[in-house]
Amino acid sequence: MHIPPGELPDTTRITISSAEDAITDDPLAIVAYEISVQPETFVLKRPTTLAISIPAAKASQDTLAIFRQTEDRSWVHIGGTLTAHEETLTISTSITEFGIYAVRHVSLPARTAPQEPFMKIQPRVINPNTPDVGFGAKARISFTLEQPSTVTVKVYDLGGRLVRNLVESRTLFPGANVVEWNGRDRDGKPCSSGLYIVLLQTDGKAETMNVLVSNSFQ
């Protein structure tokens, strides 16, 4: 779970614990976690990245998403972006509230007319030489889809040259999705300091936002 710096007061504590009881009778669920906060009156003011990893053998990549459980124990589809690494699948999404979250199988709904996504990037200034665990090491590109969409995310320099292809024509689920860029080019080398353009394309529509790479930013 990645919480933007300055979001939590010093007296606030977040606890993440297993919530297997929430999915005991749910054949679609794989794993669940409860995210709680003290004091309970605290609310998130900015989107927070939630990432859940599971063994790759447990599920097909084409049918997974993150869900949040409501007070009546029903599930609300949140979405998620899948990445595979060796024998592990990680699904990431943006959340704005605490509660019980689960990775569940989903069925793709029928496609409708494409809707334009809403893109946000946090942080907007990154340093590719910063350790991965530090703030500013990666730009988290979050966007919301209204239906399954074919998505491409690319990074260009101001001269229009392709720097990095982050996602190429992948079908992503409805809901909140997150793609990360670590400020490096296709060869894994740190990009030079300067402005870069993030291009998000989905079903024929496009959005762009700028990210500043600063190799002196701490």
Q: Mean of the pLDDT values across residues 105-124? A: 67
pTM of the model: 0.57
Pair (122, 207) in one structural domain: yes
Domain stops at, among 81, 105, 129: 105
Strands (E), the chain: 13-18, 29-38, 48-55, 64-69, 75-79, 81-85, 88-95, 99-105, 118-122, 125-126, 139-145, 149-157, 162-172, 175-181, 194-202, 205-213
The reported pLDDT for the residue numbered 135 is 58
What percent of the chain is predicted at pLDDT more than 90? 39
Q: Which residue has the tokens 């500013």?
A: 136
- Residue 144: which pLDDT band, with cuts at 50, 70 and 90? confident
As a whole number of angstroms, the distance between CA 53 and CA 83 comes to: 9
Residue 132 reports pLDDT greater than 70 = no
As a whole number of angstroms, the distance between CA 142 and CA 126 comes to: 16
The reported pLDDT for the residue numbered 61 is 57
Domain stops at, among 70, 105, 140: 105
Pair (98, 163) in one structural domain: no
Does 74 reside within a domain? yes
Pair (101, 156) in one structural domain: no
Q: Do residues 201 and 152 touch, judged by C-beta distance below 8 A?
A: yes
CATH code for the domain in which residue 64 is found: 2.60.40
Per residue in 11-67, pLDDT tens? 899 999 999 888 888 888 899 999 999 998 888 877 788 999 988 776 665 678 899
The reported pLDDT for the residue numbered 133 is 52
Please give the residue range of the domain that contains residue 209. 118-213
As a whole number of angstroms, the distance between CA 17 and CA 150 comes to: 34
Pair (181, 206) in one structural domain: yes
The reported pLDDT for the residue numbered 77 is 86
Instruction: Share the mean pLDDT of the chain.
Output: 85
* 3-class secondary structure, 58: helix
As a whole number of angstroms, the distance between CA 52 and CA 86 comes to: 15
Residue 134 reports pLDDT greater than 60 = no
CATH code for the domain in which residue 124 is found: 2.60.40.4070
The reported pLDDT for the residue numbered 38 is 92
Residue 117 reports pLDDT greater than 70 = no
Pair (124, 207) in one structural domain: yes
Domain count, the chain: 2
The reported pLDDT for the residue numbered 218 is 58
